[in-house]
């Protein structure tokens, strides 16, 4: 549970970040990290359209550079954009200056005020520097679709177990997640819709 739904002490690390939205509103906030990827992102867009769902895509700048047509398709579909650095940087491997330069390089494409750190972590000083310009968006539910230890059924089970009003739900439009979300994403959206949840963006 500490991974799927972060414990209080993890939320405490970044006190001004968005972890969960209004708990009194029956809505969830779908997010997708690591794209755009030609083998995955168009399929995700088609599934979202099928359920009339909007999402926020936290994109890697270099993937946008390589796949600008898919980036434009995400924008044209009316989804929200978020910054996920230019090279999917791990915060612990970089200082403040190089990390911020990489974030700003990605934002030359994205022009967004939303940021999510790759791997869900950054140094304390990086966080404080980032939040001067961006709203840092973390999560209330990580589906763990990236895990080699889980299958699609288990990813779906995580959604059903941990989704709640105001949840920020994290999927990945990445190659390592594709097999699992092909099963779990449509069924997750179907279940959430049947449970009366609206799909909202920030």
Known catalytic residues are 33, 172
Contact 115, 136 (CB under 8 A): yes
Report helix angle 175-194 to 152-162, nearest 10.
40
Buried b / exposed e over 88-122, threshold 16 CB at 10 Å, is bbebeebeeeebbebbebbbebbebebbbbbebeb
In angstroms, the CA 48 to CA 185 distance is: 9
């Amino acid at each position: 549970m500490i991974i799927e739904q972060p414990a209080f002490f993890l939320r405490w690390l970044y006190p001004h970040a968005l972890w969960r939205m209004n708990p009194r509103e029956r809505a969830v906030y779908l997010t997708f990290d690591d794209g755009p990827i030609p083998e995955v992102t168009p399929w995700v867009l088609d599934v979202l359209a099928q359920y009339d769902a909007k999402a926020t895509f936290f994109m890697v700048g270099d993937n946008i550079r390589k796949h600008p047509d898919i980036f434009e398709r995400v924008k044209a579909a009316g989804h929200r954009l978020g910054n996920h650095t230019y090279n999917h940087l791990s915060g612990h491997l970089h200082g403040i200056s190089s990390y911020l330069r990489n974030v700003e390089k990605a934002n030359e494409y994205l022009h967004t005020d939303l940021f999510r750190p790759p791997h869900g972590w950054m140094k304390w000083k990086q966080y404080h520097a980032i939040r001067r310009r961006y709203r840092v968006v973390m999560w209330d539910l990580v589906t763990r679709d990236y895990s080699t230890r889980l299958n699609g059924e288990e990813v779906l089970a995580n959604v059903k177990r941990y989704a709640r009003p105001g949840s920020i739900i994290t999927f990945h439009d990445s190659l390592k997640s594709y097999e699992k979300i092909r099963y779990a994403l449509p069924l997750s959206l179907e279940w959430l819709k049947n449970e009366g949840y609206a799909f909202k963006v920030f």
